[in-house]
Each structure stands twice: as structure tokens, then as C-alpha cells.
Amino acid sequence: MKMDRNINDDGLGKYAIINLRKLNEICGRQGTFERWTPGVAEALKTLEAVGALEWGCTGSPDEFFLIKLKDRNAMHALMAYHASIYADDPEFAEEVRQLALRSGTFHPLCKRPD
């Protein structure tokens, strides 16, 4: 298996990220019943309606934990993932290893997670 970002002509992967913390800062509303501006709320509602938005809530079937390559701990996490999948899919494991080699302290924007 190959990562989507390595086979798509545009370099996009399987997922995109919406930074909810930034969204709240920039487009948040203080209204009683509205969390975001109407345009943002409608965009999110549309993505959710077509099944393209996964919130990742605790305990949900689509729960997730995101690690950015610039996280100083990312290399260790990715190398452990590489080791755990190598026997089942060496090609995919190698792609993960390549990410690991560009992550953590090897990443030019390395920083503590926030």
C-alpha cells in the first residue's frame, strides 16, 4: 500500500485538517446558539452532510489523535508505527519511515506540542 499523498498528482493525502482552536479564535461567535459565523457553520454542515467531516470525538467510531511532523516527539511515534506495520506491509512501512526521518528534531519547524 502507498500513502494517498504519494500517488495523487496534487500531493494531497487522505485527510485535511481543520484547526478548531484557530477557527474559534477567528470565526467564533459569542451568540447563544451559534458557535461560528454562519458561513463557516454552513461549510462545516455541508462537509458533515456528505460524510467528509470526521470530528474525532472521544469514544466515537472515528476517534483519532493527530501528530504533526514538526512535533518534537513525532519521530519516535512514527518509528514505532513503522516497526509495528513492517511485517504486514513493508512498502507502507517504508513510507512511514521516510516521514519519520523528516520529523521531530529533524523537522525545520520542530517544536513542543501545543
Q: How far apart are the first and last CA of the chain?
A: 31
Q: Which residue has the higher pLDDT, 69 or 3?
A: 69
pLDDT at 84: 98
**Highest mean pLDDT, choosing among 9-13, 56-60, 77-81:** 77-81
The long-range contacts involving 43-46, CB below 8 angstroms and separated by at least 24 positions, are 44/18
Q: What is the pLDDT of residues 31-50, one digit of tens each?
A: 666 788 888 889 999 999 99
Q: Which residues lie across from 111 on neighbouring strands?
A: 71
- Whole-model pTM: value is 0.81
Does residue 77 surpass a pLDDT of 70?
yes
pLDDT at 31: 67
What ranges do the domains of the chain cover? 17-54, 67-114
Q: Are 108 and 69 in contact (CB under 8 A)?
A: no
Q: What is the DSSP letter of 8?
A: S
Q: Are 69 and 99 in contact (CB under 8 A)?
A: yes
Cell of 92: 507502507
- Rounded CA separation 83/8 (Å): 25
- Rounded CA separation 30/15 (Å): 29
